[in-house]
Amino acid sequence: MSTNTIASESGSFDIGGRSINRLGFGAMRLCGEGIIGPPEDEADARSVLMRAVEHGIDCIDTADSYGPGVSERLIGEALGDREDVLVATKAGLLRNAQGEWLAHGDPDYLRNQVLASLDRLRTDTIDLYQFHRPDQDVPYADSIATFAELQDESLVDQVGVSNVSVEQLETAREHVDVATVQNRYNVDDRSSADVLEVCTENDIGFMPWAPINADDLAAHGGVLDEIAAKHEATRRQVTLAWLLERSPVMLPIPGTSSIDHLEANLGAARLSLTDEDVRRLTDAAH
């Protein structure tokens, strides 16, 4: 098998008329410790990005707050403005000196951030621009309206939202055609199941953040180990394969700074879980 077909085995999903492989890559971990500052070896980080694309990954997710700015810069340096890779980034979170994530959805701030992201990503239009987190100090509709304006001005192609409730998603859809939602979701954390249901019903891509989490691997290690042994796979691969089975709109974006971990994660695209495997994992957190 040619390595550039691995990610394509996950199936495809259409975002704004653009077909992408359902298994993508999250670029948060390419930064320094604590997601602050540059990594120890920037050349190695760029190599991870290039290897991901070589393996068929054509959706890479990042945010201006990763670094801050570091992840976007590395993606711009490694990939430039490639037509065959959809780069999704986010705005709406600040990082302080203590590494805290602070919501900031002020329209003027968002307008400044899109310009910085365009520069770091070395592109004229951001493929998918996502509102990172609702800001309780700014009306949600005002923040979302800014993203709609940026789309009208061709600074961004598609708009996504993140960390939203069903109500917030519906509010966003009143202002803009929402292409994707990015909420926390994994084997152990199904708190966004209602949001996933809305996405599935309306063909909105759902990007689960923390798709592989130490808590869910530990909490459900027994069943994961049994299924993994049967398929000669790993816990991580089984977890990702289960996500891909949950919904045709599911777009996992596991992240790593290691080429070995990257290639291991891609093995999930080859893994065919049985209906019984899927049922056992689906029932695991109940």
Residue-wise pLDDT tens digits, 89-143 = 999 999 887 889 999 999 999 999 999 999 999 999 999 999 999 999 999 999 9
pLDDT at 5: 65
DSSP state of 208: E
User: What are the beta bridge partners of residue 13?
Assistant: 20
List residues with catalytic annotation: 66
Residues in the chain: 286
Q: Report the C-alpha gap between 133 and 102 in whole angstroms.
A: 9
Residue-wise pLDDT tens digits, 37-52 = 999 999 999 999 999 9
Q: Report the C-alpha gap between 136 and 106 in whole angstroms.
A: 11
Query: With respect to CATH, is domain 3-284 assigned 3.40.50.720?
Result: no
pLDDT at 23: 97
Which residue is associated with the tokens 């390595």? 3
